[in-house]
Amino acid sequence: MLTIPNVTWLDLLCLTGVGIYLVKQVNIKKNPAPYPPGPRGWPLIDNILDMPRIKPWLTFTEWGQKYGDITHIEVLGRHMFVLNSSKTALEMMDSKSTLYSDRPVVPMAGELVGWKDSMAFLPYGDSFRQQRKNLHRVIGSRAAVNVYNVVEEVETRRFLKRVLAKPDQLQEHVRHTAGAIILRISHGYEVKENNDPFVDLANCVLANVSQATAPGAFMVDILPFLAKVPAWFPGASFKRISRKWRETLEEMVSAPHKSVKDRMADGAAPMSFTSNLLEGRDMSAEEDHAVKWSAFSLYSGGSDTTVSAIYSLFLAMTLFPDVQKKAQAEIDAVVGPDRLPTFTDRDSLPYTDALVKEVLRWSVITPTGFLHCVTEDDIHDGYYIPKGSFVMPNIWFMLNDSRTYANPSQFNPERFLAKDGKDPETEPRTMCFGFGRRICPGIHLAEASIWISTVMSLAVFDISKVVENGIEITPNVEPSPGTISHPKPFKCSIKPRSATALGLIEQEANY
């Protein structure tokens, strides 16, 4: 009878460590410069035990305070550099973007779950450039995004009505609206009012990938050879998880794309990102594949991040009523009580614009960003960064760095306004949307969605703490784990500001 030895993860780590140690001894060479400082690793397994799994950005911040702006660790022969300075991140990933724009192979999310064809995971090359070109045509500038202002405004008005009807389901309303806007743009699809199959499917897919890409969440990302083990192998539950997540992803990528092609064949497809790329072209399977994944990249890159920011706005307004009152006073003075704000008011509302920036700084959407991979050896600030290394920007610390922001723990939109002869503080968009050639291509669309949600919501709603049994409930600021972080669910009171505001909310919103 075949018996399976009782193999533990520690056994595998030790065996892997021994193998890597022997390889190092064979291939040992003198580096042209020292590595940056970092925590001292263990024999054979290097820094594998130092890798944090819970709120990794806080551990990375401690490393930065101890070791400097670049921290070096080594995990089973793979070098990783954590950046704790926006200046350093811009110097490396913007100024030297040809070296720092690749993506590493991510075994769990990319290979096993199947995200490797999405633009965020693609290696820097022809496929990446084609998808980025496709997206740039549609949302690559503020002028291009303005085409979708009506969609944004109408869906946000519908959002106000949903919140009015069921304020206790705020997070669901935010998700529904973000999905409605992106699906309308990407596939010309108008979502159902309740339980829309594509919105529900997309939310599931995005929650899965956030878990799959969280630093240290899956051992297969540290020991890639585990991808080859069978699902019955002890400790290989990740294989069963990835199979389930892959099926959900494939359905989300293919079903909306097929829907567009079917409607085009019937002559009934509304204008959309997908229909524009498919129109009048006899496409090869490879070209069709690129269009399908470009559209999905548009959705996946824009919806979940927007959800996090808008939900964070309501949390901030619950906690900081004085800021809310200042924004409402500006909106009242510029817009007046007889209509809802629109994008035409944007340039006349500087405090509200600064409020959106402060939300992006205060509640960091991607605390540790996405891994970059180095394509050639580099020496930066006298330190050796070898080819194939991983580079991780600690965006959370960059947006909470007292060298960049005065009193970073304070929620203060005025930091982004010129005042008393002082220049505004650094725009958070230079960090929170990524770096170099990997910067989010949907930055203008995301900013527009967050802004219109902010200004319309504050025009008609008062947001405050809930009172239960005579006691005011103060929400905790607790970010969720995952690559894309959200505030954990919280309670707040959302009520119309006046009878006039109630009337504006109840007006019909039609395309």
Q: Which domains does the chain have, with CATH numbers?
A: 10-506 (1.10.630.10)
pTM of the prediction?
Answer: 0.88
Which phi and psi (to 5°) does residue 422 adopt?
-95, 140
pLDDT at 394: 96
Taking 50 as the threshold, does the pLDDT of residue 4 lie above it? no
Taking 60 as the threshold, does the pLDDT of residue 8 lie above it? no
User: Would you place residue 344 in the very low, low, confident or very high pLDDT band (cuts 50, 70, 90)?
Assistant: very high
Tens-digit pLDDT profile for residues 388-411 = 999 999 999 999 999 999 999 999
Tens-digit pLDDT profile for residues 72-120 = 999 878 899 999 999 999 999 999 999 999 999 889 999 999 999 999 8
- Residue recorded with tokens 């965020």: 120
User: Would you place residue 233 in the very low, low, confident or very high pLDDT band (cuts 50, 70, 90)?
Assistant: confident
Q: Helix crossing, 149-165 with 443-460: angle to 10°?
A: 40
User: Would you place residue 29 in the very low, low, confident or very high pLDDT band (cuts 50, 70, 90)?
Assistant: low
Mean pLDDT, the chain, integer:
89
**Amino acid at residue number 2:** L
Per-residue DSSP letter, 219: G
Element (H, E) at 373: strand 372-373
Highest mean pLDDT among 106-110, 273-277, 490-494: 490-494
**Amino acid at residue number 4:** I
Higher pLDDT, residue 39 or 422: 39
C-alpha 96 chain-centroid distance: 23
Tens-digit pLDDT profile for residues 112-136 = 999 999 998 999 999 999 889 888 8
CB 218 within 8 A of CB 53: no
Taking 80 as the threshold, does the pLDDT of residue 12 lie above it? no
Q: How far apart are CA 54 and CA 68, in angstroms?
A: 22
Taking 90 as the threshold, does the pLDDT of residue 305 lie above it? no
Tens-digit pLDDT profile for residues 132-183 = 988 888 888 888 889 999 999 999 999 999 999 999 999 999 999 998 999 9
Per-residue DSSP letter, 489: P
Lowest mean pLDDT among 165-174, 359-368, 435-444: 435-444
Annotated binding site for heme: 440
List the one residue out of 138, 123, 178, 102 whose CA is nearest residue 294.
Answer: 138
Taking 70 as the threshold, does the pLDDT of residue 26 lie above it? no
Token representation of residue 165: 């009807």
Annotated binding site: 440
Token representation of residue 79: 């070098």
Is residue 149 classed exposed, middle or buried when 0-12, 13-18 and 19+ CB atoms within 10 A define those classes? middle
What is the arithmetic mean of pLDDT over 359-369?
A: 94
pLDDT at 281: 77
Q: How far apart are CA 232 and CA 9, in angstroms?
A: 15
Higher pLDDT, residue 258 or 300: 258
Q: Helix crossing, 321-335 with 285-319: angle to 10°?
A: 110
- Residue recorded with tokens 């006349």: 348
pLDDT at 229: 86
CA distances (Å), 73 to each of 57, 92, 163, 367, 385, in order?
15, 18, 47, 19, 11
CB 24 within 8 A of CB 187: no
User: Would you place residue 449 in the very low, low, confident or very high pLDDT band (cuts 50, 70, 90)?
Assistant: very high
Is residue 47 classed exposed, middle or buried when 0-12, 13-18 and 19+ CB atoms within 10 A define those classes? middle
Tens-digit pLDDT profile for residues 370-389 = 899 999 999 999 999 999 99
